[in-house]
Structure 1
Protein backbone atom coordinates (compact mmCIF):
# COMPACT_ATOMS: atom_id res chain seq x y z
CA UNK A 1 0.00 0.00 0.00
CA UNK A 2 1.36 3.40 -0.99
CA UNK A 3 1.86 5.82 1.89
CA UNK A 4 2.07 9.60 1.72
CA UNK A 5 3.41 11.71 4.58
CA UNK A 6 2.40 15.34 4.19
CA UNK A 7 4.14 18.14 6.05
CA UNK A 8 1.43 20.78 6.33
CA UNK A 9 0.02 23.42 8.65
CA UNK A 10 -3.52 22.61 7.51
CA UNK A 11 -4.16 18.83 7.35
CA UNK A 12 -7.91 19.46 7.55
CA UNK A 13 -7.80 20.99 4.06
CA UNK A 14 -6.55 17.70 2.63
CA UNK A 15 -8.82 15.52 4.75
CA UNK A 16 -11.94 17.10 3.23
CA UNK A 17 -10.83 15.80 -0.16
CA UNK A 18 -9.26 12.53 0.97
CA UNK A 19 -12.48 11.32 2.61
CA UNK A 20 -14.73 11.98 -0.40
CA UNK A 21 -15.84 9.96 -3.42
CA UNK A 22 -13.65 7.20 -4.90
CA UNK A 23 -10.54 8.58 -3.19
CA UNK A 24 -12.19 8.18 0.19
CA UNK A 25 -13.16 4.59 -0.57
CA UNK A 26 -9.59 3.75 -1.57
CA UNK A 27 -8.03 5.29 1.54
CA UNK A 28 -6.82 2.60 3.90
CA UNK A 29 -6.91 -0.05 1.19
CA UNK A 30 -4.96 1.29 -1.78
CA UNK A 31 -3.14 4.13 -0.04
CA UNK A 32 -2.78 5.89 3.29
CA UNK A 33 -1.88 9.42 4.35
CA UNK A 34 -0.18 10.64 7.51
CA UNK A 35 0.44 14.24 8.55
CA UNK A 36 3.24 16.15 10.21
CA UNK A 37 2.42 19.67 11.39
CA UNK A 38 5.44 22.03 11.47
CA UNK A 39 3.78 23.96 14.29
CA UNK A 40 4.46 20.99 16.58
CA UNK A 41 8.17 21.70 16.19
CA UNK A 42 8.06 25.39 17.06
CA UNK A 43 9.90 26.18 20.28
CA UNK A 44 8.54 29.60 21.26
CA UNK A 45 5.53 30.31 23.46
CA UNK A 46 3.36 31.30 20.49
CA UNK A 47 4.17 28.22 18.39
CA UNK A 48 5.05 30.53 15.52
CA UNK A 49 6.28 29.01 12.27
CA UNK A 50 7.03 32.09 10.15
CA UNK A 51 9.04 35.30 10.29
CA UNK A 52 10.00 38.34 8.22
CA UNK A 53 12.43 37.87 5.36
CA UNK A 54 16.07 38.88 5.54
CA UNK A 55 16.77 41.60 2.99
CA UNK A 56 13.19 42.82 3.07
CA UNK A 57 10.17 41.76 1.11
CA UNK A 58 6.45 41.51 1.59
CA UNK A 59 4.85 38.65 3.46
CA UNK A 60 6.11 36.10 5.96
CA UNK A 61 8.31 33.09 5.31
CA UNK A 62 8.14 29.67 6.97
CA UNK A 63 11.25 29.20 9.12
CA UNK A 64 13.94 26.64 8.44
CA UNK A 65 14.36 25.76 12.12
CA UNK A 66 10.73 24.58 12.11
CA UNK A 67 10.64 23.00 8.66
CA UNK A 68 13.82 20.95 9.04
CA UNK A 69 12.80 18.99 12.16
CA UNK A 70 9.29 18.51 10.71
CA UNK A 71 10.78 17.03 7.54
CA UNK A 72 13.15 14.80 9.52
CA UNK A 73 10.20 13.51 11.54
CA UNK A 74 8.27 12.80 8.31
CA UNK A 75 11.24 10.87 6.96
CA UNK A 76 11.47 8.85 10.18
CA UNK A 77 7.79 7.87 9.74
CA UNK A 78 8.49 6.62 6.22
CA UNK A 79 10.08 3.65 4.50
CA UNK A 80 12.59 4.52 1.78
CA UNK A 81 11.10 8.03 1.50
CA UNK A 82 11.12 10.12 -1.66
CA UNK A 83 10.82 13.73 -0.54
CA UNK A 84 9.55 16.62 -2.61
CA UNK A 85 8.62 20.24 -2.01
CA UNK A 86 6.21 22.34 -4.02
CA UNK A 87 7.96 25.30 -5.61
CA UNK A 88 7.33 27.70 -8.49
CA UNK A 89 10.82 26.89 -9.75
CA UNK A 90 10.36 23.12 -9.66
CA UNK A 91 9.86 20.63 -12.46
CA UNK A 92 6.39 20.90 -13.94
CA UNK A 93 4.25 17.87 -13.12
CA UNK A 94 3.51 15.57 -16.06
CA UNK A 95 1.80 12.23 -16.44
CA UNK A 96 5.01 10.23 -16.84
CA UNK A 97 6.25 11.58 -13.51
CA UNK A 98 3.00 10.47 -11.86
CA UNK A 99 3.49 7.01 -13.33
CA UNK A 100 7.04 6.83 -12.00
CA UNK A 101 5.96 7.88 -8.50
CA UNK A 102 3.09 5.39 -8.50
CA UNK A 103 5.66 2.64 -9.18
CA UNK A 104 8.21 3.95 -6.65
CA UNK A 105 9.08 1.31 -4.05
CA UNK A 106 8.75 3.49 -0.97
CA UNK A 107 6.75 6.24 0.70
CA UNK A 108 6.37 9.77 -0.61
CA UNK A 109 6.90 12.82 1.61
CA UNK A 110 5.30 16.09 0.51
CA UNK A 111 6.39 19.49 1.84
CA UNK A 112 3.62 22.11 1.71
CA UNK A 113 4.62 25.73 2.08
CA UNK A 114 2.32 28.54 3.15
CA UNK A 115 2.35 32.31 3.61
CA UNK A 116 5.04 33.66 1.23
CA UNK A 117 6.69 30.26 0.99
CA UNK A 118 9.48 28.33 2.71
CA UNK A 119 13.01 29.26 3.72
CA UNK A 120 15.01 28.17 0.68
CA UNK A 121 17.45 26.13 2.76
CA UNK A 122 14.83 23.37 3.07
CA UNK A 123 15.26 22.65 -0.65
CA UNK A 124 18.67 21.13 0.10
CA UNK A 125 16.89 18.46 2.15
CA UNK A 126 14.42 17.21 -0.47
CA UNK A 127 14.85 15.03 -3.55
CA UNK A 128 12.73 17.09 -5.92
CA UNK A 129 11.16 20.52 -6.29
CA UNK A 130 7.83 20.27 -8.07
CA UNK A 131 5.40 22.72 -9.67
CA UNK A 132 1.88 21.87 -10.83
CA UNK A 133 1.73 24.82 -13.24
CA UNK A 134 2.58 28.44 -13.96
CA UNK A 135 0.31 30.00 -11.37
CA UNK A 136 0.46 30.90 -7.67
CA UNK A 137 -1.45 29.31 -4.77
CA UNK A 138 -1.69 30.44 -1.15
CA UNK A 139 -0.36 27.11 0.07
CA UNK A 140 0.91 23.75 -1.06
CA UNK A 141 -2.10 21.74 0.12
CA UNK A 142 -4.04 22.03 -3.16
CA UNK A 143 -0.89 21.06 -5.06
CA UNK A 144 -0.45 18.07 -2.76
CA UNK A 145 -4.04 16.99 -3.45
CA UNK A 146 -3.46 17.24 -7.21
CA UNK A 147 -0.27 15.19 -7.02
CA UNK A 148 -1.68 12.52 -4.72
CA UNK A 149 -4.79 11.97 -6.85
CA UNK A 150 -2.70 11.74 -10.03
CA UNK A 151 -0.64 9.01 -8.35
CA UNK A 152 -3.41 7.21 -6.45
CA UNK A 153 -5.55 6.60 -9.52
CA UNK A 154 -2.61 4.72 -11.07
CA UNK A 155 -2.15 2.38 -8.11
CA UNK A 156 -3.20 -1.28 -8.38
CA UNK A 157 -6.70 -1.78 -7.04
CA UNK A 158 -7.89 1.80 -7.44
CA UNK A 159 -9.96 1.18 -10.58
CA UNK A 160 -11.80 -2.02 -11.44
CA UNK A 161 -10.55 -1.95 -15.04
CA UNK A 162 -6.94 -0.65 -15.28
CA UNK A 163 -7.29 -0.33 -19.06
CA UNK A 164 -9.59 2.65 -18.47
CA UNK A 165 -6.68 4.55 -16.93
CA UNK A 166 -4.28 3.44 -19.64
CA UNK A 167 -6.40 5.08 -22.36
CA UNK A 168 -6.71 8.52 -20.79
CA UNK A 169 -5.21 11.83 -21.89
CA UNK A 170 -1.41 12.17 -21.73
CA UNK A 171 -0.79 8.44 -21.20
CA UNK A 172 0.36 8.08 -24.82
CA UNK A 173 1.26 11.75 -25.15
CA UNK A 174 -2.06 12.70 -26.77
CA UNK A 175 -5.36 14.11 -25.58
CA UNK A 176 -8.36 11.79 -25.42
CA UNK A 177 -10.81 11.67 -28.30
CA UNK A 178 -14.29 13.28 -27.91
CA UNK A 179 -16.63 11.00 -25.97
CA UNK A 180 -20.43 10.75 -25.93
CA UNK A 181 -23.31 9.05 -24.12
CA UNK A 182 -27.15 9.05 -24.22
CA UNK A 183 -29.25 10.68 -25.52
CA UNK A 184 -28.13 10.18 -29.10
CA UNK A 185 -29.68 13.50 -30.17
CA UNK A 186 -30.37 16.50 -27.94
CA UNK A 187 -31.25 20.04 -29.02
CA UNK A 188 -30.15 19.21 -32.56
CA UNK A 189 -26.73 17.92 -31.53
CA UNK A 190 -26.11 14.31 -32.50
CA UNK A 191 -23.52 11.68 -31.63
CA UNK A 192 -21.20 10.90 -34.60
CA UNK A 193 -22.69 8.06 -36.67
CA UNK A 194 -19.39 6.14 -36.72
CA UNK A 195 -19.68 5.41 -33.00
CA UNK A 196 -23.00 3.68 -33.57
CA UNK A 197 -21.89 1.71 -36.61
CA UNK A 198 -20.72 -1.38 -34.74
CA UNK A 199 -17.61 -1.52 -36.94
CA UNK A 200 -14.94 -1.72 -34.23
CA UNK A 201 -11.91 -1.33 -36.50
CA UNK A 202 -13.29 1.84 -38.08
CA UNK A 203 -14.33 3.16 -34.67
CA UNK A 204 -10.79 2.71 -33.32
CA UNK A 205 -9.39 4.38 -36.44
CA UNK A 206 -11.78 7.32 -35.93
CA UNK A 207 -10.79 7.60 -32.27
CA UNK A 208 -7.08 7.73 -33.12
CA UNK A 209 -7.69 10.35 -35.80
CA UNK A 210 -9.72 12.44 -33.36
CA UNK A 211 -6.99 12.17 -30.72
CA UNK A 212 -4.42 13.45 -33.20
CA UNK A 213 -6.71 16.23 -34.41
CA UNK A 214 -7.66 17.40 -30.91
CA UNK A 215 -4.04 17.36 -29.76
CA UNK A 216 -2.93 19.28 -32.86
CA UNK A 217 -5.57 21.97 -32.41
CA UNK A 218 -5.54 22.27 -28.61
CA UNK A 219 -2.11 21.13 -27.41
CA UNK A 220 0.28 21.03 -30.40
CA UNK A 221 3.24 21.12 -28.01
CA UNK A 222 2.46 17.55 -26.97
CA UNK A 223 3.11 16.25 -30.48
CA UNK A 224 6.75 17.34 -30.27
CA UNK A 225 7.50 14.77 -27.57
CA UNK A 226 5.12 11.98 -28.62
CA UNK A 227 6.05 8.85 -30.53
CA UNK A 228 4.03 8.78 -33.77
CA UNK A 229 4.03 5.76 -36.08
CA UNK A 230 3.73 5.79 -39.85
CA UNK A 231 -0.06 5.60 -39.77
CA UNK A 232 -0.22 8.54 -37.33
CA UNK A 233 1.96 10.62 -39.63
CA UNK A 234 -0.30 9.84 -42.58
CA UNK A 235 -3.35 10.89 -40.58
CA UNK A 236 -1.65 14.10 -39.52
CA UNK A 237 -0.82 14.91 -43.14
CA UNK A 238 -4.47 14.40 -44.02
CA UNK A 239 -5.56 16.65 -41.14
CA UNK A 240 -3.14 19.36 -42.28
CA UNK A 241 -4.52 19.09 -45.80
CA UNK A 242 -8.08 19.46 -44.52
CA UNK A 243 -7.08 22.53 -42.53
CA UNK A 244 -5.33 23.99 -45.58
CA UNK A 245 -8.48 23.45 -47.65
CA UNK A 246 -10.54 25.27 -45.03
CA UNK A 247 -7.99 28.09 -44.92
CA UNK A 248 -8.15 28.55 -48.69
CA UNK A 249 -11.93 28.49 -48.64
CA UNK A 250 -12.10 31.17 -45.96
CA UNK A 251 -9.60 33.55 -47.54
CA UNK A 252 -10.52 33.01 -51.20
CA UNK A 253 -13.39 35.47 -50.98
CA UNK A 254 -11.31 38.28 -49.48
Structure 2
Protein backbone atom coordinates (compact mmCIF):
# COMPACT_ATOMS: atom_id res chain seq x y z
CA UNK A 1 0.00 0.00 0.00
CA UNK A 2 1.08 3.55 -0.70
CA UNK A 3 0.20 6.31 1.79
CA UNK A 4 0.35 9.96 0.73
CA UNK A 5 0.15 12.67 3.39
CA UNK A 6 -0.39 16.36 2.62
CA UNK A 7 0.80 18.37 5.61
CA UNK A 8 2.49 21.59 6.69
CA UNK A 9 4.61 19.67 9.23
CA UNK A 10 6.37 16.68 7.60
CA UNK A 11 8.72 16.36 10.59
CA UNK A 12 5.82 15.25 12.77
CA UNK A 13 5.56 11.90 10.98
CA UNK A 14 8.71 10.34 12.45
CA UNK A 15 6.83 8.05 14.90
CA UNK A 16 5.10 6.03 12.17
CA UNK A 17 8.48 5.42 10.53
CA UNK A 18 9.80 3.54 13.57
CA UNK A 19 9.10 0.25 15.38
CA UNK A 20 6.76 -2.23 13.66
CA UNK A 21 5.57 0.18 10.98
CA UNK A 22 9.16 1.26 10.35
CA UNK A 23 10.21 -2.34 9.70
CA UNK A 24 7.31 -2.60 7.29
CA UNK A 25 8.66 0.43 5.42
CA UNK A 26 12.14 -1.06 5.29
CA UNK A 27 10.72 -4.33 3.97
CA UNK A 28 8.70 -2.39 1.36
CA UNK A 29 5.41 -3.77 2.61
CA UNK A 30 4.05 -0.22 2.43
CA UNK A 31 5.21 3.20 1.21
CA UNK A 32 4.97 6.63 2.81
CA UNK A 33 5.02 9.77 0.67
CA UNK A 34 4.89 13.01 2.67
CA UNK A 35 4.09 16.19 0.75
CA UNK A 36 4.48 19.65 2.26
CA UNK A 37 1.74 21.59 0.51
CA UNK A 38 3.40 24.87 1.54
CA UNK A 39 5.77 24.19 -1.35
CA UNK A 40 2.85 24.61 -3.75
CA UNK A 41 2.03 28.13 -2.61
CA UNK A 42 2.62 30.79 -5.27
CA UNK A 43 2.95 33.55 -2.66
CA UNK A 44 6.25 35.27 -1.95
CA UNK A 45 6.62 33.80 1.54
CA UNK A 46 4.83 30.53 0.70
CA UNK A 47 1.94 31.21 3.06
CA UNK A 48 -1.06 28.92 2.63
CA UNK A 49 -3.69 30.62 4.78
CA UNK A 50 -5.79 33.77 4.58
CA UNK A 51 -8.49 35.65 6.50
CA UNK A 52 -12.03 34.30 6.09
CA UNK A 53 -14.57 36.04 3.90
CA UNK A 54 -17.23 37.66 6.06
CA UNK A 55 -14.79 38.24 8.90
CA UNK A 56 -14.11 36.17 11.99
CA UNK A 57 -11.26 34.97 14.13
CA UNK A 58 -8.36 32.89 12.87
CA UNK A 59 -7.04 31.98 9.46
CA UNK A 60 -8.36 29.55 6.84
CA UNK A 61 -6.29 27.20 4.68
CA UNK A 62 -6.50 28.11 1.01
CA UNK A 63 -7.72 25.75 -1.66
CA UNK A 64 -5.04 26.40 -4.31
CA UNK A 65 -1.90 24.90 -2.68
CA UNK A 66 -3.81 21.84 -1.48
CA UNK A 67 -5.33 21.23 -4.92
CA UNK A 68 -1.91 21.72 -6.56
CA UNK A 69 -0.35 19.22 -4.14
CA UNK A 70 -3.09 16.70 -4.93
CA UNK A 71 -2.56 17.22 -8.66
CA UNK A 72 1.18 16.55 -8.24
CA UNK A 73 0.50 12.98 -7.14
CA UNK A 74 0.71 10.35 -9.92
CA UNK A 75 -2.27 8.67 -8.26
CA UNK A 76 -4.23 9.31 -5.08
CA UNK A 77 -6.46 6.36 -4.28
CA UNK A 78 -9.01 7.19 -1.60
CA UNK A 79 -8.60 10.80 -0.41
CA UNK A 80 -9.30 11.37 3.30
CA UNK A 81 -9.49 14.65 5.18
CA UNK A 82 -9.43 15.09 8.96
CA UNK A 83 -12.42 17.16 10.01
CA UNK A 84 -14.71 17.41 13.07
CA UNK A 85 -17.82 16.91 10.94
CA UNK A 86 -16.51 13.64 9.56
CA UNK A 87 -17.45 10.09 10.44
CA UNK A 88 -15.81 8.83 13.62
CA UNK A 89 -12.90 6.54 12.81
CA UNK A 90 -13.21 2.94 14.04
CA UNK A 91 -11.76 -0.52 13.58
CA UNK A 92 -14.11 -1.40 10.73
CA UNK A 93 -12.87 1.59 8.75
CA UNK A 94 -9.27 0.55 9.39
CA UNK A 95 -10.06 -2.95 8.11
CA UNK A 96 -11.68 -1.54 4.97
CA UNK A 97 -8.84 0.87 4.30
CA UNK A 98 -6.27 -1.91 4.75
CA UNK A 99 -7.70 -3.46 1.56
CA UNK A 100 -6.94 -0.33 -0.50
CA UNK A 101 -3.87 0.00 -2.72
CA UNK A 102 -3.43 3.71 -1.98
CA UNK A 103 -4.69 6.29 0.54
CA UNK A 104 -4.13 10.04 0.61
CA UNK A 105 -4.58 12.05 3.82
CA UNK A 106 -4.96 15.84 4.02
CA UNK A 107 -4.00 17.35 7.38
CA UNK A 108 -5.67 20.57 8.42
CA UNK A 109 -4.42 23.42 10.59
CA UNK A 110 -5.46 26.89 11.72
CA UNK A 111 -9.26 27.39 11.68
CA UNK A 112 -9.88 24.78 9.00
CA UNK A 113 -10.09 24.53 5.24
CA UNK A 114 -11.68 26.59 2.51
CA UNK A 115 -14.94 24.66 2.10
CA UNK A 116 -14.13 23.94 -1.56
CA UNK A 117 -11.32 21.60 -0.47
CA UNK A 118 -14.00 19.06 0.43
CA UNK A 119 -14.99 18.81 -3.24
CA UNK A 120 -11.75 16.92 -3.85
CA UNK A 121 -11.95 14.32 -1.06
CA UNK A 122 -13.75 10.99 -0.70
CA UNK A 123 -14.14 10.85 3.07
CA UNK A 124 -14.08 13.30 5.98
CA UNK A 125 -13.06 11.51 9.19
CA UNK A 126 -12.74 12.49 12.86
CA UNK A 127 -11.09 10.61 15.71
CA UNK A 128 -13.31 12.10 18.40
CA UNK A 129 -15.18 15.08 19.78
CA UNK A 130 -12.23 17.18 20.90
CA UNK A 131 -10.00 19.80 19.31
CA UNK A 132 -6.34 19.37 18.32
CA UNK A 133 -3.97 21.91 16.81
CA UNK A 134 -3.82 20.07 13.49
CA UNK A 135 -4.67 16.93 11.57
CA UNK A 136 -1.26 15.30 11.88
CA UNK A 137 -1.87 13.33 15.09
CA UNK A 138 -5.26 11.99 13.93
CA UNK A 139 -3.73 11.04 10.60
CA UNK A 140 -0.88 9.15 12.26
CA UNK A 141 -3.35 7.29 14.45
CA UNK A 142 -5.42 6.25 11.45
CA UNK A 143 -2.36 5.21 9.43
CA UNK A 144 -1.08 3.11 12.34
CA UNK A 145 -4.45 1.41 12.85
CA UNK A 146 -4.68 0.65 9.12
CA UNK A 147 -1.16 -0.42 8.20
CA UNK A 148 -0.79 -2.83 11.12
CA UNK A 149 -3.70 -4.87 9.69
CA UNK A 150 -1.82 -5.59 6.46
CA UNK A 151 -0.33 -9.07 5.99
CA UNK A 152 3.23 -9.37 7.24
CA UNK A 153 3.29 -6.15 9.29
CA UNK A 154 2.72 -7.77 12.69
CA UNK A 155 5.01 -10.62 13.66
CA UNK A 156 2.02 -12.92 14.18
CA UNK A 157 -0.76 -12.45 11.61
CA UNK A 158 -3.27 -13.75 14.17
CA UNK A 159 -2.43 -10.90 16.57
CA UNK A 160 -4.69 -8.38 14.84
CA UNK A 161 -7.55 -10.90 14.67
CA UNK A 162 -7.73 -11.35 18.45
CA UNK A 163 -7.40 -7.70 19.45
CA UNK A 164 -10.00 -5.39 20.95
CA UNK A 165 -12.72 -4.32 18.50
CA UNK A 166 -11.70 -6.87 15.84
CA UNK A 167 -14.82 -8.89 16.67
CA UNK A 168 -16.76 -6.02 18.19
CA UNK A 169 -15.61 -6.87 21.73
CA UNK A 170 -12.85 -5.66 24.00
CA UNK A 171 -9.94 -8.05 24.29
CA UNK A 172 -9.84 -10.68 27.03
CA UNK A 173 -7.19 -10.36 29.80
CA UNK A 174 -3.69 -11.56 28.96
CA UNK A 175 -1.06 -13.06 31.28
CA UNK A 176 2.56 -14.20 31.06
CA UNK A 177 5.27 -15.53 33.41
CA UNK A 178 5.53 -15.74 36.35
CA UNK A 179 2.41 -17.74 37.17
CA UNK A 180 2.24 -16.04 40.59
CA UNK A 181 3.51 -12.67 41.75
CA UNK A 182 2.93 -11.20 45.22
CA UNK A 183 0.01 -13.55 45.69
CA UNK A 184 -1.62 -12.69 42.38
CA UNK A 185 -2.08 -15.83 40.29
CA UNK A 186 -2.74 -16.48 36.64
CA UNK A 187 -6.20 -18.08 36.17
CA UNK A 188 -5.75 -21.85 36.37
CA UNK A 189 -7.70 -22.46 33.17
CA UNK A 190 -4.91 -20.81 31.16
CA UNK A 191 -2.34 -23.34 32.37
CA UNK A 192 -4.67 -26.35 32.00
CA UNK A 193 -3.80 -27.17 28.39
CA UNK A 194 -7.51 -27.55 27.59
CA UNK A 195 -7.75 -25.34 24.52
CA UNK A 196 -11.53 -25.60 24.22
CA UNK A 197 -12.02 -24.42 27.80
CA UNK A 198 -9.41 -21.68 27.29
CA UNK A 199 -11.24 -20.41 24.19
CA UNK A 200 -14.54 -20.34 26.12
CA UNK A 201 -12.88 -18.51 29.03
CA UNK A 202 -11.41 -15.93 26.68
CA UNK A 203 -14.77 -15.32 25.00
CA UNK A 204 -16.47 -14.94 28.36
CA UNK A 205 -13.85 -12.54 29.66
CA UNK A 206 -13.98 -10.50 26.45
CA UNK A 207 -17.74 -10.24 26.94
CA UNK A 208 -17.23 -9.33 30.60
CA UNK A 209 -14.75 -6.55 29.76
CA UNK A 210 -17.10 -5.18 27.12
CA UNK A 211 -20.15 -5.41 29.42
CA UNK A 212 -18.34 -3.57 32.21
CA UNK A 213 -16.44 -0.95 30.22
CA UNK A 214 -18.11 -0.53 26.81
CA UNK A 215 -21.70 -1.82 27.07
CA UNK A 216 -22.58 0.30 24.02
CA UNK A 217 -20.70 -2.22 21.87
CA UNK A 218 -23.13 -4.93 22.93
CA UNK A 219 -26.28 -2.93 22.14
CA UNK A 220 -26.40 -3.72 18.44
CA UNK A 221 -24.45 -6.97 18.50
CA UNK A 222 -25.98 -10.03 16.84
CA UNK A 223 -25.04 -12.46 19.60
CA UNK A 224 -24.70 -16.21 19.27
CA UNK A 225 -26.51 -18.52 21.70
CA UNK A 226 -23.20 -19.19 23.43
CA UNK A 227 -22.55 -15.48 23.87
CA UNK A 228 -26.06 -14.91 25.21
CA UNK A 229 -25.59 -17.70 27.75
CA UNK A 230 -22.20 -16.41 28.84
CA UNK A 231 -23.46 -12.84 29.13
CA UNK A 232 -26.29 -13.95 31.42
CA UNK A 233 -23.75 -15.75 33.60
CA UNK A 234 -21.62 -12.59 33.69
CA UNK A 235 -24.57 -10.42 34.74
CA UNK A 236 -25.42 -12.84 37.58
CA UNK A 237 -21.80 -12.97 38.71
CA UNK A 238 -21.39 -9.19 38.68
CA UNK A 239 -24.59 -8.65 40.65
CA UNK A 240 -23.40 -10.99 43.42
CA UNK A 241 -19.91 -9.44 43.62
Match runs of 1:240-251 below 5 Å: 240-246=235-241
Match of 1:120 in 2: 115
Asked whether the equivalents of residues 173 and 225 of structure 1 are also in contact (C-alpha less than 8 Å), the reply is no
Calculate the TM-score normalised by the size of structure 1: 0.90
Q: Equivalent residues in 2 for 1:1-254 (5 A)?
A: 2-14=1-13, 16-28=14-26, 29-73=28-72, 76-78=73-75, 81-104=77-100, 106-246=101-241
TM-score by length of 2: 0.94
- State the distance in 2 between where 1:204 and 1:49 align: 55
Structure 1 position 161, deviation (Å): 2.4
**CA displacement 1:119-177 (0-9 Å, x = unmatched):** 22111110000011122111111111111111111112212321121111111100000
2:108 and 2:135 in contact (8 A); partners too: yes
- Residues 16 and 144 of structure 2 are in contact (CA less than 8 Å); yes or no, is this contact kept in structure 1? no
CA distance in 2, matches of 1:56, 1:179: 55
Long gaps (5+) in structure 2: none
Question: Does the aligned pair in 2 maintain the 1:5–1:78 contact within 8 Å?
Answer: no
CA contact (8 A) 2:41 2:47 kept: yes
Aligned residues of 1:185 and 1:191 also touching (Cα < 8 A): yes
Mapped contact 1:84–1:111 kept (Cα < 8 A): yes
* Structure 1 unpaired stretches of 5+: 247-254
Instruction: Give the secondary structure class of the aligned counterpart of 2:32.
Output: strand
Deviation at 1:63, TM superposition (A): 1.0
C-alpha separation in 1, matches of 2:157 and 2:221: 22
Report which of the two has the higher share of helix: 1
- SS of the equivalent of 2:98 reads helix
